[in-house]
Structure 1
Amino acid sequence: MRSCGGFTLIELLVAISVMALLAVLSWRGLDGMARSQAQTSQRADEVLNLQAGLGQWKVDLDSLTQTPQISNLDWDGRVLRMTRRATTASDGLVVVAWTRRADAGGQWLRWQSPAVRTLGGWNDAWNRATVWAQNASVEDRAREVLVTPLVNWQIFYFRGNAWSNSLSSDGAAQGNAPGVAQAVGPAVLPDGIRLVLELPPGQAISGKLTLDWVRPTLGGDR
C-alpha cells in the first residue's frame, strides 16, 4: 500500500517561518535602501543650495555699482549691505543684504529690495536692509531666501597687499551709524573680499569654508 505524498504540519510551520524571516529581512533591506536614498537626496540638496548661494554671492559682488552719492558696500558685523545693478539695467539699482539671523534657525539669509531709481528710494531700501537683519517684518521675510545653516561667518577685505578684518580696514565702510544712510558717495571697493563660513556638523559640508572674491577691474599684476 503506497503512502500519500505531502508535507507534515511541522514541515509547513518551518516553511512558513523561513518565509516570514525572508520577508522581514527583505523589508529591512528595502527600508535601509529607502533611508539611504532619502539621506543622499537631502545631502545633494544641501550641497546644491550652498552652491547656489555662493554663486549668488559672487554675482552680487560682481554687480556692485559705483554710483555717485550712494554707498555701495557696508559691513557692520551683523549684515553686509550692497548696492548693485538690477538684473535689467533699465530697472535701476537694488539693495542686497546678507546676514545670519537667530530667529531663522541660524540660517544664512539673502534679502533684496525692489528696484530703486531715486536717492530717496535707495535711502529707504538701505536702511530697511539693516532693520531686516535685526527684526524682519512679514513683508521683508517674503523677500528673503534661506541659503544654509551657519554657526558663524566673517568677512575680510584685501587692501595694501594684506587681508584684514573688514571692521578695522581703513575706508572699508562709509562710517555711517547702523541704519542711517547718508549721501556721501561710494566707498573705494577693496581689491578682494574673503568670506569665511563656519558650517555646522551634520551637514553635507561642515567645518570652515573660505571663498575669495577679486574685484573684476583689478589689474593683472595682483
Structure 2
Amino acid sequence: MQARHQRGFTLIEVLVALVAMALLAVMSWRAIDGMSRVQQQTEARADDVLTLQIGLAQWAADLDAVVDLPNISTLDWNGRVLRLARRSTASVTDGVLVVGWTRRVINGQGTWLRWQSPQTFTRGDFNEAWLKADTWSQNPGVDELAREVAVVPLDDWQVFYYRENAWTNPQSSAVRTAPVAGQPIPLPAGQALPDGIRLVLTLPANQAINGTLTRDWVRPNLGRPQ
C-alpha cells in the first residue's frame, strides 16, 4: 500500500482565514453597535414624547381646576407668565393653589416651567402667592426655585383667549382695571373666564416632536349656567 501524504494548511491560507474572520467580527460589531444606538435614540425620543404629554396633561388639569373668586381674576396672562388659581385635588377642604407657567432660559436652553404655591386659605396669603408667581417668572429666589418643575425645552410660546367667538390676545381681550403691585387683577362684576385657551409652543429642532405645536383647551362648564 502506498503511504498517504497528508497536507496541512499553508501559512497564507491561515492568514486569509484569520483576515476573513476578523472582517466578519468587525461587521458584526458594527451591526450590534448600530442596533444599540438606534435603540438608545428610540428610547430617548420616547422619553421626550412622554415628558411633553405629561406636561400638556398637567396644563389641561390646571385649567380644568381653575376656581372663581369674588371680584378678582383667577387667570391672568401678562405676556411673560400665566398665573391661575386652582383647587386642590387632595381634598375639598384644602386651600387654593396658585400655579404659574412660564418660559425661562436655563443653562443656555429655553425651558417651559411650572411653579406651584403652598395652599392658601386667606386673601392675604393668596395675594402674596400671586405676586410670588410673577416674581418667580422673572427673578426667582431659592424658595421659588424649590417649587418649580422643568417640563420640556422650549424656544417660544404664545397664549390666546377665546372670547366672543374669536381668538384674541389675552392682554387686550379682557376689560381690566389697573392692577395694584402685582396683586390679582380686579374684574368687573360678571367677567367670566375665557371660553377657551390656545397654547402655541415652539419646540426645538433636537426634540422628538419639534416645530410649532398648538393645543386648545375648552372651559369644562361652557354652555352650562354659571
Q: Distance in 2 between matches of 1:101 and 1:183?
A: 24
Give TM-score scaled by structure 2 length: 0.90
2:178 aligned with 1:166: no
87-96 vs 179-188, greater mean Cα deviation? 179-188
Kindly state the Cα deviation for residue 167 of structure 1 after the two structures are TM-superposed: 1.5
* CA shift for structure 1 position 99: 0.4
CA contact (8 A) 1:198 1:208 kept: yes
User: How many angstroms apart in 2 are the aligned matches of 1:140 and 1:61?
Assistant: 21
Give the whole-Å Cα distance in 2 for the aligned partners of 1:19 and 1:59. 59
For the residue of structure 2 that corresponds to 1:168, the secondary structure is helix
- Which of structure 1's runs of 4+ aligned residues deviate more than 6 A? none
- Structure 1 counterpart of 2:93, one-letter code: S
CA separation of 1:107/1:183 partners in 2, compared to 1, >3 Å: closer, same or farther?
Answer: closer
Counterpart position of 2:131: 127
8 Å contact 1:74–1:174 — kept in the other structure? Answer: no
CA distance in 2, matches of 1:4, 1:69: 106
- 1:70 deviation in Å? 4.3
TM-score by length of structure 1 reads 0.91
In 2, the alpha carbon distance for the partners of 1:183 and 1:100 equals: 22
Paired residues of 2:203 and 2:212 also in contact (CA < 8 A)? yes
Q: Which residue of 2 aligns with 1:67?
A: 69
| 1:57 match | 59
Superposed displacement of residue 117, structure 1: 0.9
- In 1, Cα distance between equivalents of 2:139 and 2:186: 26
Matched, 1:27 2:20: no
Larger Rg: 2
Question: Any gaps of 5 or more consecutive residues in structure 1?
Answer: none
1:20-75 deviation line (CA, Å, top 9, x unaligned): 11111111111111110010001000100110011111110000000225430111
Report the count of equivalent residues. 218
